[in-house]
Structure 1
Amino acid sequence: MLYAEPEGLLAARLVEAALAAGPAGTLFLARSETRAARLHRAAAALAPDGTAVLLLPGWDCLPYDRVSPTRGIMGRRMAVLAALAAPPEGPRLLIASAEAALQRLPRQAEASLRLERGAPFEPEAIRLALLRLGYGLEEQADEPGEAALHGGVLDLFPAFAPGDPAWRIRHEAGRVESIQRLDILTQRSLEEETEALTIGPASELVLPKGDALIEARPPGLEHALPVWHPELVAPLALLPEARLILDEDCEEALARRRAEIAEAFRTRIALRPPREGEPQLPPPESLYLDEAAWAAALGGRAPEQVLPSQDEPAAPPRFAAQPEPEAAFLAYAEAKLAQGRRLAIAGGIGRGARRLARRAAEELGLEPRLVEDWPALLRTPPGGLALLPAPADLPGFEAEEAVLVPFAAIRPGGGASAQQRSDQGAEALIEASATLAPGDAVIHLDHGLGALRGVEAVDTGEARVDCLRLDYADGSRLVPFDELDRLWRYGATAEGLSLDRLEGGGWEKRRKEAEAEVAKSARQLLALVQAREAARAPVLRPDKARYPRLVARFPFEPTADQAAATGAVLDDLASGRPMERLVCGDVGFGKTEVAIRAIAVAAFAGRQAALLAPTTVLVRQHLETLRRRFEGFGLRIEMLSRLTPPAEAKAVRAGLASGEVQIVVGTQALASKAVRFADLGLLVVDEEQRLGARQKAQLKTLRGREGLHVLTLTATPIPRTLQAALVGLRDLSVIATPPARRQPVRTLRAPLDDALLAQALRREARRGGQSFVVCPRIEDIAPMRARIAGLLPELSLIEAHGDMPAAEMDEAMVRFADGGADVLLSTNIVETGLDVPRANTMLVWRADRFGLSQLHQLRGRVGRGRARGVIYLLTDPATKPAQATIRRLKTLEALDRIGAGFAISARDLDLRGAGELLGEQQAGHMRLVGMELYRHLLDRALARARGEAPPEAWSPAITLGVDAYVPEAHIPEEALQVDIHARLGRALRAGDLAVVEALEDELEDRFGEAPEPLRNLFDLARLSARCRQLGIAKLEVGPEAAAATPSGTVPRREAAAAPPLERRGERLLLRRLGATPADRLANAAALLAALAPGRRRRAA
């Protein structure tokens, strides 16, 4: 008997079935795509080596859509076809969804392209072959199924199987010269090479040679697949002798899918018949299996049915919700092992799991075994403990013979240091705006605003070195290595800026003005920081009985960053000082859960908590969430907004004043003078950046309360808040890891037509979901409403836009969120603050009229439940968008991964909207010298205001006579060469040798062993950092000696010569021969080692 739940146990039983069936195979049909993917992941982790566990995905587009399935999906389908066509070498388990099972496939993956080192390479023939196989020719290959052909290089990202690496193929004189791995993130070739490469198709539609559509394959052509491949095969026929198992509710899913296919075909033919030159759509039965074809494909087999679980699925508890997770797990493990069951920890090769296993061995007296798979676990003696090298978040289960506990249930994040990653994430957001590239505007500390043009090699007579070339209003200047730390980024482009003059005192005057004003600001900021540090607030700690119960109601495992942010918030609440923390995370990353746990701590401690949100819709949704999570805890939770009836609002205000209302959710109405709190302990502000100036002014009256803890949530890391964190006015937590349950939203770009509109909205409604239709202007609403009503009169529709009375608009959005309509037709007012888990489809009309960040925020409104979301970026078919618009929409398509918001919002971390800490005046100072240099000046001014002496701003001058540069043959891209120098400059400015070492390791990993000039460049960086530590202003090495000159900051007595050093005036000498560059580098290092404080003391 097979039962539907828990999924982990079903996956284990499928592995057992596959092993029993052997090469004949086992075919399991899941009721949905997402369930098929989850079961495949679990089964692949539990199956032994030699067992082929395959996933046949369905197309990720609507039947007869105007867009094609993604190349990655089609490539994976063709990979399954190829794998099943090969002679079996062991057991085979094929998992597919009901959707995938109904769609026919080509008979076999015949077409391919083979490239071998030394074989002929004719660029035009290769280009046509790739197009025929369905590959897209792009500027760079960074997605499966893409290729880029530039000069003597072909970059290729195969789509034939998941996990295939990308490759860079170099060719010269008509022959393949090399085939190297390609890093798709850096677009650099790696050291790994191969002799030959077989490239499978990226489409199920491999066009015949010479077909006119090869050069101009229209989107959606795959829906006419039978025109070119009339002999298609049913997926069931791929394993004709296989044991066939149908998931619970799979028959219903098959029936629904058949109805969708028939309706989609009728809609496409009626509303958008093929135009001249386009192929006729073949009838549905030629591409999909109707009931008769399904029965024929079964071939007389009687499928086995997975049964619904009779009892509550037995799964291990979530130990992470307990006060002592590891202790709770050990108690649980002891009880299960005493029953004679085996117990395995999934994720067992991680450091945290191994440490837990050692603790278990000590406390339970059992030595854990390492087992590779599920059958190996069952071969161990009953009552034993095992470690399974499977994903740490594998779904756990309890079976009679064994128990599987995912390590993530004991420690979220799999045991990695989540707090460390979050801290680094905050810095990464700031540093993301500090990278340099040719064309950037930069500030040289001594010469002012210039334009960075690139890297220029300079021959000094003794050696070749790299310099950065800066253009100024009256000439250019070369910046050598020892001045890199004096460069600061000003902005993303120098276009339109008034550059400084090298000859003249304009910059020096501006810099001194800025330094003087920043010093004033620093004193004011320091007063605020000191006031914050001196302030006291009640110590709030989690209630030991109720807090774990509330946490256990969270239906998901917190991500590593969520856990880190929660830990930081709990530490703040217990610190005795008022919390002022900003939690920054992308749309849907779980910021609200962090707030809920903070509210729980305050409310369970007897203090009142208020949650302020910018819209009444968001307030209503927060209210429902809080009431659901706190049900049964005896807390009164109320709402206060413009939708609250007057009598009810009066009662809420009375309850807040008396203390009867423990938790309140509201808009800025919470900050009105009419609202008094009996004992407000915590204020949570959601999406503060969406509040207007008046709302923020009202908010200050709340924030100013003595001893108040404040937690702010935002999806937009704007510079103002980052600056506040840097100077200590706020603490910052970044949630940068996505929830494991959330899938990326599929982003599609297409011209609008009635068939696409009808299909997308009807499909979402039929699967029980809801849809957004977003228009750029209010005047576009009425025509779109009429269009939808004419096409789909059966769908209910609600409107929301800025011309409606505020209360009416809020009520409309609340009704939609409550499931009151199939479609919400609106302007972009829905881009924030609306959480509708059933909404999985969005159509954005005239997407070219929206900004990139707006479109990303809109995209975040769909796919917030278990189903994958899809957003259509619709353009006017009668208007050709500008190239810049197409690039912008393509960027959003490319950045459709989870967490892309940080990549998109990083573009806003420039001078635009830099904001103020104390007022607009400071924003002016920031614009005067640039954000990065402003931060540096402010840090130094704050140090002086605290009575500390900031480190002297000087750079050691180093003369060694060795080649030190980035060889073009090794790293040809000038932008990357500039970035390397900029990162070295920042590392030296911070005096951080670890960053220098990390950069050197990164470059060696990406580009292989560094040539000598590049190694010398990093040796120079290390020497420069060491000189700073020792106070050496000048380091010179010649053929007979090495000399160091201390800076003026090092007293003479500290620079005393110790054997084997000699003093010559201000210089300290080490007499050694340095005939070669390697000798001179070694002599420089030896001199600095002799000057180290410990060495001087030993010599004395």
Structure 2
Amino acid sequence: MASHSSPGFETKTVAGVTRDYLQLQFQGDDKVFMPTEQLAKISRYLGAAGGEPSLSKLGGARWDNLKARARRAAQELAGELLNLYAERKRRTGHAFDPDTEWQQEFEARFPYQETADQLEAIELVKSDMEAERPMDRLICGDVGYGKTEVALRAAFKAAASGKQVLVLAPTTILAQQHQGTFSERLRDYPFSIDHVSRFRSAAEQKAAIEAFAAGKVDILVGTHRLLSRDVRAKDLGLIIIDEEQRFGVKQKELLRQMKLKVDVISMSATPIPRTLQMSLAGLRDITTIETPPEGRRPVKTFVGEYDEDLVKQALEREHARRGQAFFLHNRVDSIEETAERLRALCPDMRFEVAHGQMDEAELEARMMGFLRGEADVLVSTSIIESGIDIPQANTLIVDRSDLFGLSQLYQIRGRVGRGRERAYAYLLYPSHAALTSEAAQRLSALSDYTELGAGFKVAMRDLELRGAGNLLGDEQSGHVAALGFELYLQMLDEAVREMAAADGDGPVDEAPEPVRLDVNVDAYVPADYIPYEQAKIDVHRRIAGAREVADLGLLRDELEDRFGEIPQPLANLLDLQVARIKLGRAGATTVSFKGDRLAVTPLELTSHQAKAIRAEIPGALYESGRSQLSVRVSNDPQQRFPAVIRAADVLLAAVTEEPVAA
């Protein structure tokens, strides 16, 4: 089976049987062809900074040593994570009462129709609040998908129960916006809402903090200033954190201590990979709001070289429909010059400049003026990135988009397209020749993910592009680089489950070894059915990794929907995995052919079960001494495969005492 092609899938015919094999490349010229049923043992390599892995020798000890070191590191990290998690589980928080009529009346006043995802997020948050364990839920949802309404309802529930609420935002402008939203939605209710920000005088801030400490303020909104030592609550019940990933290390540590005592909701439009990983590892509850609000349309995204005519055309088109535009130029030293150039380009339009080095009062005045429609175009730095809501702004032009990170660009694009108007985003760069390959990947990822609700996918893609170096701390990044992110996370997940089982928190759910089943039948994915290598790998991995027959049924439906009627070799591949799952559930590990008999081992059957099998398959023989069931089969390969499928059905039915599948 020698082959000189590059690593990937090869469809080979060996001893008259056609199968797909994955070609694995080792150091030097060594190759291994792996049968696809073993594919669940393979993981994709995502290394630190997206680098290439260094290959190991076939049969060498290096790979085992790398895995052993990484496993020890994963166990240490798992210990730390579990201690934090266990600490949270041990603590009892405040169990809020079920919803009152007052709460229902407040919710009925919401002026929009909730989406299904939003309703689910609301229900999960409420059930978390009503439980005794302190809540720590991350809500991911694209900009404008209703995360704030979820937080508002939780805040109402807390305040109505006599508990205080802290609302934290990473920037002053976002804190101002939350203050406005909360005050507006709660204006007919007897709750006191105040805010602390750089835009308020020292005396006003002091008064708000003292009122909060005395219990006279129910909801206090602000930036990380609220994490200072002088901010004390009389009876804190809930913390709401917007864009948690944008807080610093010290602030995150303070938040971590607070999370042990009170309920916490974190909100993010693109959860950073570390947060994402914690969530996916099951150490944190995560809810994703993916359904767009009614009437929302995707932002039309254009990626290309900077062109003044294009910029002029885009700004004039927005102005003609009485809308506003953002022009993002991320260098303070040349931003005024850029604004002048744009004024000369579009003399009939009003331009305003905003950046973070301005005096705070001036910055707020300019942003608020733009919000009121006093300028047509806001020329700004990336300060517009966080959550600011200007529904009438529906064109965005980003100068030097190649210098931004993926999540950051995604967030910035979320500034437009918040109303019912079609929104446009132009991500521009100086020249194609000057574009690095990483920047090209980032920009193509954004043009790939234009559909609504793609924030979660972008975070996953961001993880791939940025690598996992800063994900788990510096001490872990070497192991991630050596093994790849997927395998390292798998080890971490195993370590967490093993330790949880040792602490009596549940059994270790060991993935069983796939049943060895070799039948002379063609089983592969035809190249003309799924022509893309990546999609083919994904299908094989999902088949090999399936643990439930129902999962394969769903996959079959999905394949028919995407690629059309399933060809016979792929149907055989699916049926083989169905048989493996059923035989595995019955306790078998090996199926082999001996002459004209099919042998299934090892099996521990009662006389009642053996009798039930014989009633369905005449001539079936069970030898308890050898823990083996054997069934007579035809020599015709066309007959043998159905015989295996039938034996798997009958055996599982006898062991579980369920009726045999028709």
TM-score, L = length of structure 1: 0.54
Q: Does 1:983 align with 2:542?
A: yes
> Which residue of 116, 121, 137 corresponds with 1:581?
137
Deviations along 1:54-86, whole A, 9 cap, x unmatched? xxxxxxxxxxxxxxxxxxxxxxxxxxxxxxxxx
Is the Cα contact below 8 Å between 1:671 and 1:701 reproduced in 2?
A: no
Deviations 1:1043-1079, CA, capped at 9 Å, x for gaps: 1122xxx779899965432329636242323233342
Provide, for residues 27-58 of structure 1, a one-character-per-residue CA deviation record: whole Å limited to 9, x for no partner: xxxxxxxxxxxxxxxxxxxxxxxxxxxxxxxx
CA distance in 2, matches of 1:609, 1:671: 13
Q: For the Cα contact (< 8 Å) 2:165–2:237, is it kept in 1?
A: yes
What is the CA–CA distance in structure 1 between the aligned matches of 2:330 and 2:470, rounded to whole Å?
A: 31
Q: C-alpha displacement at 1:998, in angstroms? A: 1.6
User: Share of identical aligned residues, percent?
Assistant: 39
Partner of residue 959, structure 1 = 518
Match of 1:525 in 2: 81
Partner of 2:10: 456
5+ long unaligned stretches in structure 2:
615-619
Amino acid at match of 2:592: E
Deviation at 1:616, TM superposition (A): 0.3
Q: CA–CA distance in 2 between the matches of 1:916 and 1:754? A: 38
Question: Does residue 1:968 correspond to 2:527, yes or no?
Answer: yes
**Cα 1:796/1:906, change in 2 over 3 Å:** same
Q: Deviations over 1:257-311 (max 9, x none)?
A: xxxxxxxxxxxxxxxxxxxxxxxxxxxxxxxxxxxxxxxxxxxxxxxxxxxxxxx
Residue of 337, 353, 356 corresponding to 1:783: 337
AA matched with 1:982: R
**2:192 equivalent to 1:636:** yes
Q: By how many angstroms is 1:857 displaced?
A: 2.1
Is the CA contact 1:488–1:932 (under 8 Å) kept in the aligned structure 2? Answer: yes
Answer whether contact 2:96 2:130 (CA < 8 A) is retained. yes
* Distance of aligned partners of 1:1067 and 1:460 in 2 relative to their CA distance in 1, 3 Å threshold: farther
1:559 aligned residue: 115
What is the 5 A alignment of 1:350-365? none
What residue in structure 2 maps to residue 76 of structure 1?
Answer: none
Contact 2:50 2:465 in 1 (8 A): no
Q: Which ranges in structure 1 are unaligned for 5 or more consecutive residues?
A: 1-450
The residue type paired with residue 696 of structure 1 is K
How far residue 714 of structure 1 moved from its aligned partner, in angstroms, is 0.5
Aligned positions of 1:485-496 closer than 5 A? 485-491=40-46, 496=52
Question: Is 1:680 the counterpart of 2:236 in the alignment?
Answer: yes
Return the match for 1:1077 from 622, 634, 637: 637
Aligned partners of 1:1070 and 1:1087 also within 8 Å: no
Partner of residue 204, structure 2: 648
Alignment-derived partner of residue 246 in structure 1: none
Task: Give the whole-Å Cα distance in 2 for the aligned partners of 1:719 and 1:863.
Answer: 25
Give the C-alpha shift of residue 888 in structure 1: 6.1
Distance 1:1038 1:978, change over 3 A: farther
Cα distance in 2 for residues equivalent to 1:452 and 1:579: 50
Is the counterpart of residue 1092 in structure 1 residue 647 in structure 2?
no
SS state of the match for residue 237, structure 2?
Answer: strand
CA 1:1090–1:916 in 2, change beyond 3 Å: closer, same or farther?
A: farther
Q: Which residue is 1:592 aligned to?
A: 148
Which residue, out of 763, 768, 772, partners 2:326?
A: 772
Change (3 A) 1:695 1:813: farther
CA offsets 1:351-402 (integer angstroms, 9 cap, x no match) = xxxxxxxxxxxxxxxxxxxxxxxxxxxxxxxxxxxxxxxxxxxxxxxxxxxx
- Please tell me whether residue 604 in structure 1 is matched to residue 163 in structure 2: no
SS in 1 for 2:232: coil
Residues 644, 1078 of structure 1: alpha-carbon distance in 2 compared, 3 angstrom cutoff? farther
Q: What corresponds to 2:391 in structure 1?
A: 837
8 Å contact kept, 1:940–1:950: no
Query: Distance between the aligned counterparts of 1:843 and 1:935, measured in 2?
Result: 38
SS of equivalent residue, structure 1 residue 488? coil
Cα separation, 2, equivalents of 1:520 and 1:752: 49
Closer, same or farther in 2 for the Cα pair 1:1036/1:837, shift >3 Å?
same
Residues 52-451 of structure 1 mapped to structure 2, 5 A cutoff: none
1:505 maps to: 61
Specify the code of the residue in structure 2 equivalent to 1:614: P
**Aligned residue in 2 for 1:167:** none
**Structure 2 contact 391–419 (Cα < 8 Å) conserved:** yes
- For 1:837, the aligned partner's letter is P
Structure having the larger proportion of residues in helix:
2
Instruction: Note if 1:863 corresponds to 2:411.
Output: no
CA contact (8 A) 1:719 1:913 kept: no
1:1001 aligned residue (545, 557, 569): 557
Q: Secondary structure at the match of 2:270?
A: coil
Shift of 1:578: 1.0
Match of 2:617 in 1: none
SS at match of 1:558: coil
Separation in 2, partners of 1:863, 1:939: 38
Paired with 2:447 and 2:494, the residues of 1 have a C-alpha distance of: 43
**Correspondence 1:811-890 to 2 at 5 A:** 812-874=366-428
1:476 equivalent to 2:31? Answer yes
Letter in 2 for 1:535: R
- Using the size of structure 2 for normalisation, the TM-score is 0.87
Offset at residue 1016 of structure 1 (A) = 1.4
Give secondary structure in 2 for the equivalent of 1:593. Answer: helix
Describe the SS at the equivalent of 1:470.
Answer: strand
C-alpha distance in 1 between matches for 2:565 and 2:146: 42
User: 2:586, 2:655 within 8 Å by CA — same for their partners in 1?
Assistant: no
Shift of 1:595: 0.8
Question: Whole-Å Cα distance in 1 between the matches of residues 318 and 183 of structure 2?
Answer: 29
Contact 1:1039 1:1080 in 2 (8 A): no
Question: Counterpart of 1:489 in 2: which secondary structure?
Answer: coil
Larger mean CA deviation between 809-818 and 1089-1098 belongs to: 1089-1098
**Deviations 1:978-1026 (Å, cap 9, x if unpaired)?**
2221221222xxx122222222222233444333322211111112212
Deviation per residue, 1:394-444 (Å, 9 max, x gap): xxxxxxxxxxxxxxxxxxxxxxxxxxxxxxxxxxxxxxxxxxxxxxxxxxx
Distance in structure 1 (CA, Å) of the matches to 2:433 and 2:483:
41
Structure 2 residue 573 is matched with structure 1 residue 1017: yes
Q: Secondary structure at the match of 1:490?
A: coil
> Partner residue of 1:697?
253
Distance, in Å, in 2 between the alignment partners of 1:693 and 1:667 is 15
With over 3 angstroms needed to count, the CA separation of the structure-2 counterparts of 1:625 and 1:973, relative to structure 1, is: closer
User: In structure 1, how many angstroms separate the alpha carbons of the residues matched to 2:43 and 2:85?
Assistant: 26
Match of 1:537 in 2: 93
Deviations 1:154-213 (A, max 9, x none): xxxxxxxxxxxxxxxxxxxxxxxxxxxxxxxxxxxxxxxxxxxxxxxxxxxxxxxxxxxx
Q: Distance in 2 between matches of 1:919 and 1:890?
A: 28
SS where residue 645 of structure 2 aligns?
A: helix
Aligned to 1:721: 275
Report how far residue 732 of structure 1 moved: 0.6
In structure 2, distance between residues paired with 1:1053 and 1:984: 32
Give the equivalent residue in structure 2 for 1:571: 127
**3-state SS, counterpart of residue 1026 of structure 1:** helix
Matching residue's letter, 1:859:
R
Q: Distance in 1 between matches of 2:493 and 2:130?
A: 28
Rg larger in structure:
1
Tell me which residue corresponds to 1:318.
Answer: none
Higher relative contact order (CA 8 A, sep 6+): 2
Change (3 A) 1:782 1:916: closer
Q: Secondary structure at the match of 1:1020?
A: helix
1:1041 equivalenced with 2:597 (yes/no) = yes
Shift of 1:483: 1.4
Tell me the distance in 1 between the aligned counterparts of 2:466 and 2:441: 22
**2:300, 2:424 within 8 Å by CA — same for their partners in 1?**
yes
Q: Which is worse superposed, 939-948 or 581-590? A: 939-948
